[in-house]
Amino acid sequence: MDIPVLDWQRFASGSDVAGFVKDLGAACRDTGFFLVKGHGIPETLIHDVFAKGDAFFARPQAEKAALDIRGNPHNRGWACQGSEALDETSGQMDRKEAFNVGFDLPADDPRVLKGEPFRGVNIWPEIDGFRDTMLRYYDAALALGIGLHRAFEMDLDLPEGYFAPHFSEPMATLRVLSYPAAPDGEGIGAGAHTDYGSVTLLMTDGVGGLQVKPRGGDWINVPHVKGAYVVNIGDCLMRWSNDIYVSTSHRVLPPKTARRSIAFFLDPNPDSVITALPGTGEAKYPAITGADYLRSRLDATYTPKEIQ
């Protein structure tokens, strides 16, 4: 078992579409983890997201607390140290903090006014260029995630464009993460979990700690390839593909030196109905909307603690 490195240019340039789709399909069935290089997202943009994240995490607690995610019904804002346990069975809280940006809508959007699930406005710290950088990155990562679904649809023998209407206004979340140095090695950076959505695009700063546990195997380190995304299949796509693709458990060990990462979780539109894709056989799971599925998973992750 290994984690392959796939070159997106083989698909995007049209030079080796069939070969890329075959390799991608194999990875999605094996561990659901692969690295993607040649993605075309500018290094400078990635650098800027890290820098804006650093600037935010360095702000005083009181300022960050005004953006607390626990007061936000739409999964946006700041998740402080000790607010989350990705492994909700471990009794251990994750040693990390994070900031979430969701699908951006104006305050007067009718869905926002009606309070539809996951249809909220983003909340922003007062940091020059923060909003603009995050939204530019959000759009670039979304385009790549949608592109990957074009390749999934070829691999799964779906009609061209099958996934597009499910990702027209998706519940995608951009999340910048900061893991403090933990030289004591105690606890966990991010507890063992599978991701909830369709696909996750993860960029790290190269500090180690991310591990994956293939089915029937032991924990292995995810290799770092500079500039490449770590991409993994989430539970929603596993369910949607009727278990043809797999999501795999992963975790982040407490790092010796401070570690940062940028996760982009691509979930479908809230009202997308997730039911076994055509041609995948008898459905193993009942149909569920994207919003109901994501909500059920998020509720398990956050503690019911009140905001202090």
Ligand X SMILES: O=C(O)CCC(=O)C(=O)O
CA 20/CA 14 separation, integer angstroms? 10
Q: Of all residues in this chain, which one has the CB nearest to Fe ion in the complex?
A: 195
CA 9/CA 140 separation, integer angstroms? 15
Residue 260 contact, options Fe ion, ligand X, none, Cβ 5-8 Å cut-off depending on partner type: none
- Considering only residues 75, 133, 178, 204, which one is a binding residue for ligand X as defined by CB under 6 A? 204
Angle at 183 between CA 53 and CA 221, to 5 degrees: 75
CA 150/CA 144 separation, integer angstroms? 10
Beta strand segments in 194-277, E: 199-204, 210-213, 220-221, 229-233, 249-252, 259-266, 273-274
- Considering only residues 149, 150, 250, 295, which one is a binding residue for ligand X as defined by CB under 6 A? 250
Residue closer to Fe ion (CB basis): 171 or 276: 171
* Contacts (CB under 6 A) with ligand X, residues 141-180: 177
What is the pattern of x (binds Fe ion, CB under 5 A) and - over residues 173-202? ----------------------x-------
Residues pairing with 262 in the sheet: 176, 203
What is the pattern of x (binds ligand X, CB under 6 A) and - over residues 206-225? ----x---------------
Give the shortest CB-251-to-ligand X separation in angstroms. Answer: 7
Number of residues engaging Fe ion in binding (CB under 5 A)? 1
Residue 190 near ligand X by CB under 6 A: yes
Coil/strand/helix, residue 302: strand
What spatial distance separates the first Cα and last Cα of the chain, rounded to whole Å?
A: 46
Q: Which pair of structure tokens corresponds to residue 62?
A: 């009181």
Residue 195 near ligand X by CB under 6 A: yes
Residue closer to ligand X (CB basis): 149 or 250: 250
Residue closer to ligand X (CB basis): 77 or 156: 77
Q: Compute how many other C-beta atoms are within 10 angstroms of the C-beta atom of residue 104.
A: 16
Residue 154 contact, options Fe ion, ligand X, none, Cβ 5-8 Å cut-off depending on partner type: none
Give the shortest CB-98-to-Fe ion separation in angstroms. Answer: 11
Residue closer to ligand X (CB basis): 53 or 120: 53
Q: Of all residues in this chain, which one has the CB nearest to ligand X in the complex?
A: 261
CA 34/CA 148 separation, integer angstroms? 12
Q: Which of 248, 252, 220 is closest to 234 using CA atoms?
A: 248
Give the shortest CB-252-to-ligand X separation in angstroms. Answer: 5
Strands 5-7 and 33-37: parallel
Residue 261 near ligand X by CB under 6 A: yes
Give the shortest CB-223-to-ligand X separation in angstroms. Answer: 13
CA 89/CA 91 separation, integer angstroms? 6
Stretch that binds ligand X, among 1-9, 11-19, 45-53, 202-210 (CB under 6 A): 202-210
Q: Which of 283, 291, 270, 249 is closest to 89 using CA atoms?
A: 249
User: In residues, how long is the chain?
Assistant: 308
The residues of the shown chain that bind ligand X, judged by CB under 6 A, are 177, 190, 195, 202, 204, 210, 250, 252, 261, 263
The residues of the shown chain that bind Fe ion, judged by CB under 5 A, are 195
